Amino acid sequence: MREVCFRKEDVYRGDLILVNEDFALKRQNAVQRLVPADSRYPEVLLGNRAASMLACLIREICGEAEIIPVSGYRSFEEQTKIYEDALLEHGESFTRKYVALPDHSEHQTGLAIDVGQAVTELDFICPEFPYEGICQKFREKAPRYGFVERYGKEKENVTKIGWEPWHFRYVGVPHARFMKEHAICLEEYIELIRQYPYPEKALEIKGEEWTASVSYLRQSTEEMFVTLPEDVLYQVSGNNVDGFILTVWSENTNGE
């Protein structure tokens, strides 16, 4: 058996952190290992794992010539400038709907990417990404690579962000698949997982060859310890709210 330590500061880092109007990013915990989302666009950065999965997704659908990474990681200063420029150019109503305040933007995590269809004149704030052709193929395959379309039209009252067909967020494969299959957004998923406290309950998400058991641990002390089997594959993410999401993988046996 092995002992896993959950530290309070880790609540604010991981693939499943919720960054929105209500929960600000703790900047010192932002993704540090940033790499180009696409070698052709070295200025557009993503966290290492998210960038790798994005590249695999685009390769599978043969979308290299038709899909462009528009905006990935942004520093606090970049997000501030984008917000202020949008206010000047588009006004307060548009800006509050489509541009997050500094430290409340997923782009500062290194886990979010805006993608656009390759067109002559690309809109940096609202790039074209229609629900057809190669863009729709990207959208349909995205959960298999851990990405979700983050701001759906029907979820505006939950996310407090306007419909953004171009904005995708990396959350990890099992979580993205569950969110897509059940038509829920990240806010709703974080709330759902609270109903599965570790070790009493776990939400089981089944893939073709694996099962992911997902549980919630509330952070109640500076450090907590959980004992897991030595050979188990697991991942821990903070939720940026009040605790952790523990994902434990197991291999499906014949007949499952």
Instruction: Tell me the pLDDT band of 122, cut-offs 50, 70 and 90.
Output: confident
Distances from the Cα of 118 to the Cα of 27, 64, 165, 166, angstroms: 32, 10, 15, 12
Distance between CA atoms of residues 164 and 151, nearest Å: 5
Instruction: Tell me the pLDDT band of 252, cut-offs 50, 70 and 90.
Output: confident
Residue range(s) occupied by CATH 3.30.200.180 in the chain: 1-16+184-256
Residue 86 near residue 125, CB atoms below 8 Å: yes
Residue 110 near residue 84, CB atoms below 8 Å: no
At the topology level, CATH places domain 24-170 in Muramoyl-pentapeptide Carboxypeptidase; domain 2 (3.30.1380)
Instruction: Tell me the pLDDT band of 1, cut-offs 50, 70 and 90.
Output: confident
Hey, what are 8's tokens?
């309070």
Instruction: Tell me the pLDDT band of 139, cut-offs 50, 70 and 90.
Output: very high
pTM: 0.95
- DSSP H helices, the chain, are 48-60, 76-90, 92-98, 133-141, 156-159, 173-181, 186-193
Distance between CA atoms of residues 111 and 156, nearest Å: 20
Q: Using alpha carbons, select from 138, 204, 190 the residue that is nearest to residue 167.
A: 138
Residue 248 pLDDT exceeds 70: yes
Instruction: Tell me the pLDDT band of 96, cut-offs 50, 70 and 90.
Output: confident
Judge whether 89 counts as a catalytic residue.
no
Residue 161 pLDDT exceeds 90: yes
> What per-residue confidence (pLDDT) applies to 28?
61
Residue 124 pLDDT exceeds 90: no
Instruction: Tell me the pLDDT band of 254, cut-offs 50, 70 and 90.
Output: low
Instruction: Tell me the pLDDT band of 26, cut-offs 50, 70 and 90.
Output: confident
**Annotated catalytic residue within 164, 181, 223, 230:** 164
User: What phi and psi, each to the nearest 5 degrees, are found at residue 55?
Assistant: -60, -40
What CATH number matches the domain at 1-16+184-256, 1.10.760.10, 3.50.50.100, 3.40.50.2000, 3.30.200.180?
Answer: 3.30.200.180
Mean model confidence pLDDT for the chain: 94
CA 152 and chain centroid, separation: 14
> What per-residue confidence (pLDDT) applies to 3?
93
For the packed helices 48-60 and 133-141, what is the interaxial angle rounded to 10 degrees? 130
Q: Output 100 or 120, whichever has higher pLDDT.
A: 100
> What per-residue confidence (pLDDT) applies to 32?
65
> What per-residue confidence (pLDDT) applies to 72?
97
Distance between CA atoms of residues 203 and 174, nearest Å: 11
Distances from the Cα of 62 to the Cα of 52, 53, 57, 116, angstroms: 15, 14, 9, 15
Average pLDDT over residues 91-98: 90
> What per-residue confidence (pLDDT) applies to 8?
93
Hey, what are 70's tokens?
């528009």
Residue 158 pLDDT exceeds 70: yes
> What per-residue confidence (pLDDT) applies to 31?
64
Residue range(s) occupied by CATH 3.30.1380.10 in the chain: 24-170
The amino acid sitting at 127 is P
Average pLDDT over residues 112-128: 92
Average pLDDT over residues 134-162: 97
Average pLDDT over residues 212-233: 94
